[in-house]
Structure 1
């Protein structure tokens, strides 16, 4: 299976330049047992992925780094069923970072943002605050590039939505461990080392 992973793990979302970090700051991803149908303690399972709900608020860059340290990536939605199942585990009130960004330097001509990996659902199909989806009406600006999902204690579909936030804002996050993605990252790491 061919997979493209966008270069987020090597970018600094703390500034507008998205500057590269060095190869020495990257690490090899450890394996985790997907074939047994189990996830590490504290993780939630859906299909062939495990999910970690981070209860500590952090910036997008910090959230991505924290997921990376857990041998995971930020949550990438590959189906409506996955979105519905994982969203039930989001913190009840507040924004949660997901693996979705609209880069200003790359996507000026494209309306939809980019997931961290290929093969994900069309981002325009998410429940954005303003529909039909348009980036600017959903908070996107030169300072607000990172997408977060808002949940309420009432858990009403009508009051939950996705919206762009400045990447420096502190929110909860969801990490995803997927065996296909981890295998791809390890091969990429070995190639670049």
Structure 2
């Protein structure tokens, strides 16, 4: 078989990969390690086209009880497509030193079933790509449990401070707006 025929499948794979990348919003490009699992989460594959709530968390923060409210929100809206992504961070010096302790707080203490990642940087030049794009579209987290509501196209439509509880009417309104957004 001539060499040029071998190049055709490679080129097709290359261009289909570019097409997939073009469909993936900037916010979701890349992957993050799942909390206490041996797998990485391909953000685009897992969350593209879905409304999101992204929140930076910390196990030992006074706002940690918001895990319960975030889980209730997820349970209320998951059948409509809502995804919640919790990203633990020690940027504000209130996260456990190891993922096992973080997992215990999230999964055992608060019964979290939504997606949680291993601890990440969420502020500054070292922030994970997801949080760099969130900051570009709105602002960097000011503290733990800073919440971002993202529409199906990967655009931040609202962000909320740590003081805003997950059952806050304005927060719920933003989530419902994200759910109503068209793909």
| TM-score in terms of structure 2 length | 0.27
| TM-score in terms of structure 1 length | 0.26
> Which structure has greater strand proportion?
1
User: Which has the higher Rg, Structure 1 or Structure 2?
Assistant: 2
